[in-house]
Amino acid sequence: MDGYLHLAAGKTFEGKWAGKVPAAEIKGEIVFFTGMTGYQEVLTDPSYKGQIIVFTYPLIGNYGVNKNDAESKRPQVSGVIVYEVEAECFHYESEMPLPEYLNLWGIPLLSSVDTRDLVQQIREHGSMPAVMDSSPVREEGITLVPECKAGKVSTTVIQKYGKGSHHIVLYDFGYKKSILNLLRKEGCRVTVVPYQTDFETVKKLDPDGILLSNGPGDPKEMTGILPEIKKVIEYYPALGICLGHQIAALALGADTKKMLFGHRGANHPVLDRESGKVFMSSQNHSYVVDGCSLGGTGLSPRFVNSNDGTVEGLQHHALPLVTVQFHPEAHPGPTDSNYIFDEFIDIIKSTERKAVHYA
Ligand SMILES: NC(=O)CC[C@H](N)C(=O)O
């Protein structure tokens, strides 16, 4: 059965439904991911909430879906677009084929789409609203209602994990399981808190450090929480990842802006200006901290994207605060930047129990 993808910029793409035909139209922001592997991690990363994802690699699904690679309890994307999907899977760990998994969660999968042409459209017009349906013609315009997406994926209750010697409060804006796993591997006990948690509540939990997680949407949807986040990062050693990096920057007075089509893939080169080394990183973001907005914030760009010069991470001149736009927890993609977690733990060890106003 034929299915269609309509872009807000006007063009319609034809494909075949691989699985159930959706009963109603599916709306989302269309974005593309360039990694050759890691589709399960991408689909289950809460940062993709509300987005329709296009995989540029032409064959998706050949190793199925397994028990270990999910970054959250369910696929989070609104829809999936591929060139060719493999309905049989060939991997000893595979639990089920990809189309079956998406079907189970009612997420539409459109295959046989000309993904090369589609990605060119996104590169030209930007990531934009799109609709998947079974009608070849779309007359209505396509718009998306603004909403706080992190609020939709964040936990509503405090959760505790592990027994390690360092205690980390993980602000859940839509955290990936790999962040929690890496913290636990580093010997941390982790308390996951809802995205709106205030400073006084954090203080009662008595952490040694704070991790501001990744998450979906525009960081400016989160302005309501910035005053509390400012207090938290002025008091405790902190690491911000992706949305967490953007929120920390906004809280300290910097600005963010939307890129045309963002960075989504597993091989984005980043320069660490402290070591002078370039590493490959896993990325998934549409927004970026505006490098021209850092004056007076105490923040300077420690990490820079080697392709386009955008800010990939910040260091504070006085606070024990490091933030990164890329994903040091990897999954999908290379683990080259795992060292950011070691650094964070070292900072915590050196400042432990001295968590008092650094500002
Ligand atoms: N992975 C993330 O945390 C993404 C951050 C933010 N939603 C962006 O698109 O820029």
pLDDT one-digit tens code per residue, 86-116: 988 889 999 999 999 999 999 999 999 999 9
HEC assignment per residue over 135-188: CCCCCCCCCCCCCCHHHHHCCCCCEEECCCCEEEEEEECCCCHHHHHHHHHCCE
Ligand 1 neighbourhood includes 325 CB (under 6 angstroms): no
Which position has the higher pLDDT, 164 or 256?
256
Token representation of residue 42 = 């991408």
Distance separating alpha carbons of residues 285 and 261, to the nearest angstrom: 9
Q: Given the DSSP bridges, would you call strands 256-272 and 238-241 parallel, antiparallel or unpaired?
A: unpaired
- The answer to whether the CB of 217 is under 6 A from ligand 1 is yes
pLDDT of residue 90: 86
- Kindly state the DSSP code that residue 353 receives in the 8-state scheme: T
- Residue 357 scores a pLDDT above 70: no
Confidence of residue 194 (pLDDT cuts 50, 70, 90): very high
Mean pLDDT on 182-188: 95
Q: How far apart are CA 164 and CA 187, in angstroms?
A: 5
Query: What percentage of the chain carries pLDDT values higher than 70?
Result: 98
Tell me the pLDDT tens digit for each residue of 212-252: 999 999 999 999 999 999 999 999 999 999 999 999 999 99
Task: List the chain domain ranges.
Answer: 2-133, 149-351
42 and 35 Cβ atoms separated by less than 8 Å: yes
The answer to whether 246 is annotated as binding is yes
Confidence of residue 351 (pLDDT cuts 50, 70, 90): confident
Residue 127 near ligand 1, beta carbon < 6 Å: no
Helix (H) or strand (E) holding 246: helix 243-251
- Name 258's bridge partners: 287
As a whole number of angstroms, the distance between CA 330 and CA 283 comes to 8
CA distance 306 to 323: 17
**Over residues 45-59, mean pLDDT:** 98
268 catalytically annotated: no
Q: What is the DSSP string of 313-341?
A: EEEESSSSEEEESSBTT-SSS--GGGHHH
Has 327 been annotated as catalytic?
yes
215 annotated to a ligand binding site: yes
Residue type, 160: K
* Domain 2-133, CATH: 3.50.30.20
314-337 per-position pLDDT tens digit: 999 999 999 999 999 999 999 999
Mean pLDDT, to the nearest integer, of 32-52?
A: 98
Helix (H, G, I), strand (E, B), or coil: what is residue 301? Answer: strand
Whether residue 89 lies in the annotated active site = no
CB 196 within 8 A of CB 152: no
pLDDT value of position 352:
56
The CATH class given to the 149-351 domain equals alpha beta
Q: How far is the CA of 264 from the centre of ligand 1 (A)?
A: 10
Query: Once rounded to an integer, what is the mean pLDDT over residues 199-218?
Result: 98
pLDDT digits (tens, 9 = 90+) for 55-91: 999 999 999 999 999 999 999 999 999 999 998 888 9
Q: State the distance between the two ends of the chain, measured CA to CA, in whole angstroms.
A: 61
- Measure the CA–CA gap between 2 and 112, rounded to whole angstroms: 10
If pLDDT is split at 50, 70 and 90, which confidence band does 359 have? Answer: very low
Ligand 1: does its nearest atom lie under 6 Å from the Cβ of 243?
yes
